[in-house]
């Protein structure tokens, strides 16, 4: 648990109603050079991942609100996975590829939380002359190896990086986060056939299985259920987890196997914001100011509740 005064302040603030932006900036802004867990609140040996997720979620909501950008639902479903990856799993020799490029906001804010992107960077999101386009850019950010956003590319790219590491006998794993809708793409299946054939034991594919895709539920559009079963049929090692449980995420991502692995993370689109959860429209919609305020309040309340309960 985190007993930093932050959470007391949040609780107090919550009673008064809103958390003002200046309050958030003052409270959450951290030195960009130091990973979040190195702050007083989160000693390196005991990172409190759920609290970290909440911090990043608040920054994500603010970034999308300030930029008037939608796509927030699929960012919120992926956020626990990204924060756990970057703060608990990834080592310097590892590589991460975001195949579901429409979760760029979640990636950017997670990179902000590690110090790889600055507060100034995030303020430019989706604006003219930004490095942070709506989908990850091809050049200029060392932590982002490829421009993704066209679905069905990431797993093949990750397989190539994993094969490169194998051919060099180099250490390091490759993690690739996909959506569930993008398994409609044949190229995704080409990639796992290749990964299994090449025995890429250094490859871990995550599926953000939020059950909603571009214009309908996955079950209505191109039903692949049971997705985990299909992966097993392709001879992958498969694990199904709750994609919003940090301990479970970290446990699943850190396991090893003789070949490539898939972690199917059951998630909720718009997770943590009641009026967005499991709603297709939040694949696209930007927030109004009152919606943003409510979203922020709900995240803060969840933190306070968690803090009080721990």
Partner 1 sequence: MRDAFCRELMRHSARPEFVFLTGDLGFKALEPLRASMPRRFINAGVAEQNMVCVAAGLAHTGFRPWVYSIAPFVYARPFEQIRNNIALPGLPVTLVGNGGGYGYGVMGSTHHALEDYGVLLTLANMRVFIPAFDSDLGPIIETQMTCAFPSYLRLGLSEVPDGFDPPPYAQWRHLVEGDSATLLVAGPLVGGIVREVTKMSREERPSVWLISELPLGNIPSGFLEDVQRTGHLAVVEEHVSTGGLGQMISHDLMLASVTVRRFTHHYAQGYVSGLYGSQKYHRRESQLDPASVLAALAAVAT
Residue 138 CB, shortest distance to partner 1, in Å, is 4
- For residue 269, give the nearest of 181, 205, 184 by alpha carbon: 181
Least separation in angstroms between CB 225 and partner 1? 24
What torsion do the CA atoms of 154, 160, 161, 165 make, to the nearest 10 degrees? 150
Give 48 or 188: the residue with its C-beta nearer to partner 1: 188
CB atoms within 10 A of CB 34: 11
135 CB burial (10 A radius; 0-12, 13-18, 19+): middle
Q: Which residues contact 62 (CB under 8 A, 6 or more apart)?
A: 21, 24, 292, 296
Query: Counting contacts by CB under 8 A, is residue 157 touching partner 1?
Result: yes
State the helix-helix crossing angle for 72-84 and 49-67, rounded to 10 degrees.
Answer: 150
Distances (CA, A) of 95 to 25, 74, 92, 142, 196: 30, 22, 8, 11, 19
**Closer to partner 1 at the Cβ: 56 or 151?**
151
List the structure tokens of 281.
Answer: 């429209």
Say whether residue 197 binds partner 1 (CB under 8 A). yes
Q: Decide: is 160 part of the binding site for partner 1 (CB under 8 A).
A: yes
Q: Considering only 18-26, 146-154, 239-247, 260-268, which stretch makes contact with partner 1 by CB under 8 A?
A: 146-154
Which residue from 120, 143, 125 is spatially nearest to 135, judged by alpha carbons? Answer: 125
For partner 1, which stretch binds (CB under 8 A), given 123-131, 148-156, 214-222, 268-276? 148-156
Of 61-69, 126-134, 187-195, 283-291, which part binds partner 1 (CB under 8 A)? 187-195
**Please, which residue, 62 or 153, has the CB nearer to partner 1?**
153
The residue (of 42 and 151) whose beta carbon lies closer to partner 1 is: 151
Residue 274 contacts partner 1 per CB under 8 A = no
Q: Which stretch binds partner 1 (CB under 8 A): 52-60, 111-119, 167-175, 255-263?
A: 167-175
- Least CB distance to partner 1 at residue 236 (A): 15
- Quick count: other Cβ atoms within 10 Å of Cβ 284? 15
Binding site for partner 1 (CB under 8 A): 138-139, 145-148, 150, 152-153, 155-165, 167-168, 170, 186-187, 190-191, 193-194, 197-198
């Amino acid at each position: 648990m985190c007993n930093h005064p932050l959470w007391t302040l949040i609780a107090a603030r919550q009673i008064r109603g809103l958390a003002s932006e200046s309050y958030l900036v003052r409270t959450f802004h951290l030195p960009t050079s130091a990973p979040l867990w190195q702050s007083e609140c989160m000693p390196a040996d005991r990172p409190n991942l759920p609290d970290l997720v909440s911090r990043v979620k608040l920054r994500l909501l603010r970034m999308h609100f300030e930029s008037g950008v939608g796509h927030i639902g699929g960012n919120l479903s992926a956020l626990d996975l990204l924060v756990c990856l970057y703060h608990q799993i990834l080592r310097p020799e590892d590589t991460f590829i975001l195949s579901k490029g429409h979760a760029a906001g979640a990636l950017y804010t997670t990179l902000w939380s590690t110090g790889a992107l600055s507060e100034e960077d995030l303020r430019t999101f989706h604006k003219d002359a930004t490095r942070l386009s709506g989908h990850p850019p091809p050049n200029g950010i060392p932590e982002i190896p490829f421009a993704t956003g066209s679905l069905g590319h990431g797993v093949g790219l990750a397989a190539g990086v994993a094969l490169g590491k194998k051919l060099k006998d180099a250490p390091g794993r490759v993690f690739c986060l996909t959506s569930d809708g993008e398994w409609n793409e044949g190229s995704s299946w080409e990639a796992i056939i290749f990964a299994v054939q090449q025995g890429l034991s250094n490859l871990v594919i995550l599926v953000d299985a939020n059950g909603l895709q571009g214009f309908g539920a996955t079950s209505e559009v191109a039903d692949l259920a049971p997705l985990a079963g299909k992966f097993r049929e392709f001879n992958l090692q498969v694990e199904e987890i709750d994609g919003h449980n940090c301990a479970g995420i970290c446990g699943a991502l850190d396991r090893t196997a003789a070949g490539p692995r898939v972690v199917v993370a059951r998630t909720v689109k718009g997770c943590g914001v009641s009026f967005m959860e499991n709603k297709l429209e939040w694949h696209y919609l930007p927030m109004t100011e009152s919606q943003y305020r409510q979203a922020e309040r709900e995240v803060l309340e969840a933190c306070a509740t968690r803090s009080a309960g721990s």
